[in-house]
């Protein structure tokens, strides 16, 4: 049965969630990684996990901001889990390798990975450490490589708990629909050189391509590694009031400061859908895409095309071979 289509109005103004976060099970003994966990929905995701006794690794680029977030998290009421900082720059393939090596030295398995870190509406001239446009380099290639590097630990968790698969949740966006007509074009990975519809700024196009790539990652990984008792999903968290919007410009920036103020939701609510994807009753549906609050939804049609998924996967493999150790 095809996934239901949910219109943009319902995604921006969703009905109240039916599944309370108090239904998240006791996570004692479970190891969870949250990238970009120092602010926004990543921070709120970590906070909720700690209320359920999880051991959480807060992975972020800035040690100062990461440790500050951890100090604040430890002061929250009803926190019974533990949280540790681990350094990760998703925009640098070498940093990803170093991060994965460090994780493997600390843990034998990872039960849940939240691929939450990302950039939004950045200056399209900004580059990653390896020279990629920042949206595709961080949100797309970097996030894909983080997952690839942590696969041994995720597989170990899947093997250790046959009745409880390991989970990987990619934070995507409704704006994946601003990607290029092909879905992903290896000749124009950022989408900057492909004609854009009216109203789609260069930054919005790059962001849309990169968020579509998160959906492709979840589905290609599901096809390749779902048999290892790992479930991969992706989510649109909602239009969330976070620092990611600080870079918005043009028409989108004007909307952010005016009309969008009535659509923005708090990060705490924004964290709901990715928590639902990891622990909710539909979370075992590999390759599923969720929108607020915890509703399965169809993506654009290119997201279902295995050739598009494989094209992105091959492109990632080629870039990794060029630059990674």
**What's the rounded Cα separation, in Å, for the pair 70 and 18?**
30
Q: Which of 207, 272, 276, 289 is catalytic?
A: 207
Mean pLDDT of the chain: 93
Alpha-carbon dihedral of residues 229, 286, 15, 139, nearest 10 degrees?
100
Q: Establish whether 172 is a catalytic residue.
A: yes
* Contacts of residue 79, Cβ cutoff 8 Å, sequence gap at least 6: 47, 50, 51, 73
User: Max Cα separation, the chain?
Assistant: 51
**What's the rounded Cα separation, in Å, for the pair 38 and 81?**
16
Q: Which of 314, 306, 308, 281 is nearest to 295 (CA)?
A: 281
- 325 residues of the chain, pLDDT tens digit each: 679 999 988 998 899 999 999 999 999 999 999 999 999 999 999 999 999 999 999 999 999 999 999 999 999 999 999 999 999 999 999 999 999 999 999 999 999 999 999 999 888 999 999 999 999 999 999 999 999 999 999 999 999 999 999 999 999 999 999 999 999 999 999 999 999 998 899 999 999 999 999 999 999 999 999 999 999 999 999 887 655 455 555 555 555 555 456 667 888 999 999 999 999 998 889 999 999 999 999 999 999 999 999 999 999 999 999 986 6
Q: Which of 158, 293, 319 is nearest to 238 (CA)?
A: 293
- Boundaries of every domain in the chain: 8-15+28-323
Q: Cα-flanking dihedrals φ and ψ of residue 237, to 5°? A: -75, -15
Q: Which of 55, 132, 145, 172 is catalytic?
A: 172
pLDDT of residue 283: 85
Buried b (16+ CB within 10 A) or exposed e, 60-93: bbeeeebeebbeebeeeeebebebebbebbbbbb
Q: At what angle do helices 202-225 and 143-160 cross, to 10 degrees?
A: 30
Q: Establish whether 43 is a catalytic residue.
A: no
**What's the rounded Cα separation, in Å, for the pair 141 and 317?**
9
Q: Which of 145, 173, 211, 289 is catalytic?
A: 211
pLDDT of residue 223: 98
Tokens matching residue 266: 């708090």
Alpha-carbon dihedral of residues 152, 154, 157, 162, nearest 10 degrees?
-110
Beta strand segments in the chain, E: 31-35, 55-60, 82-87, 112-115, 166-171, 230-235, 289-291, 295-296
**What's the rounded Cα separation, in Å, for the pair 17 and 113?**
23
Alpha helices in 17-127 (DSSP H): 40-50, 63-74, 93-106
How far the first Cα of the chain sits from its last, in Å, is: 43
> Which CATH number describes the domain made up of 8-15+28-323?
3.40.50.720
pLDDT tens-place string over residues 223-268: 999 999 999 999 999 887 655 455 555 555 555 555 456 667 888 9
Q: Cα-flanking dihedrals φ and ψ of residue 233, to 5°? A: -135, 170
Beta bridge partners of 115: 170
Measure Cα distances from 58 to 6, 28, 76, 211 in Å: 32, 17, 16, 22
């Amino acid at each position: 049965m095809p996934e239901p289509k949910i219109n943009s109005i319902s995604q921006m103004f969703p009905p109240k969630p039916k599944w309370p976060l108090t239904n998240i099970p006791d996570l004692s003994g479970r190891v969870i990684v949250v990238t970009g966990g120092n602010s926004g929905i990543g921070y709120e995701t970590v906070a909720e996990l700690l209320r359920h006794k999880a051991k959480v690794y807060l992975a972020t680029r800035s040690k100062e901001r990461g440790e500050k977030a951890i100090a604040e998290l430890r002061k929250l009421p009803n926190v019974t889990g533990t949280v540790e900082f681990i350094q990760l720059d998703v925009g640098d393939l070498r940093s990803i390798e170093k991060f994965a090596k460090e994780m493997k030295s600390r843990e034998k398995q990872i039960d849940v990975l939240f691929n939450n870190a990302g950039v939004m509406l950045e200056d399209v001239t900004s580059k990653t450490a390896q020279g990629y446009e920042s949206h595709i380099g961080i949100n797309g290639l970097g996030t894909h490589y983080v997952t690839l590097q942590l696969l041994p630990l995720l597989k170990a968790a899947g093997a250790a708990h046959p009745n409880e698969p390991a989970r990987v949740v990619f934070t995507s966006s409704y704006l994946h629909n601003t990607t290029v007509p092909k879905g992903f074009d290896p000749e124009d990975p950022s989408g900057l050189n492909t004609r854009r519809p009216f109203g789609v700024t260069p930054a919005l196009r790059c962001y849309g391509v990169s968020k579509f790539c998160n959906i492709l990652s979840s589905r290609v990984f599901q096809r390749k590694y779902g048999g290892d008792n790992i479930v991969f999903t992706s989510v649109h968290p909602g239009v969330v009031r976070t620092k990611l919007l600080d870079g918005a410009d043009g028409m989108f920036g004007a909307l952010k400061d005016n009309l969008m103020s009535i659509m923005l939701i708090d990060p705490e609510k924004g964290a709901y859908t990715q928590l639902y994807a990891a622990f909710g009753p539909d979370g075992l549906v590999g390759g599923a895409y969720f929108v607020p609050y915890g509703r399965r939804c169809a993506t654009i049609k290119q997201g279902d095309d295995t050739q598009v998924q494989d094209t992105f996967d091959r492109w990632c493999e080629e870039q990794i071979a060029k630059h990674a150790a």
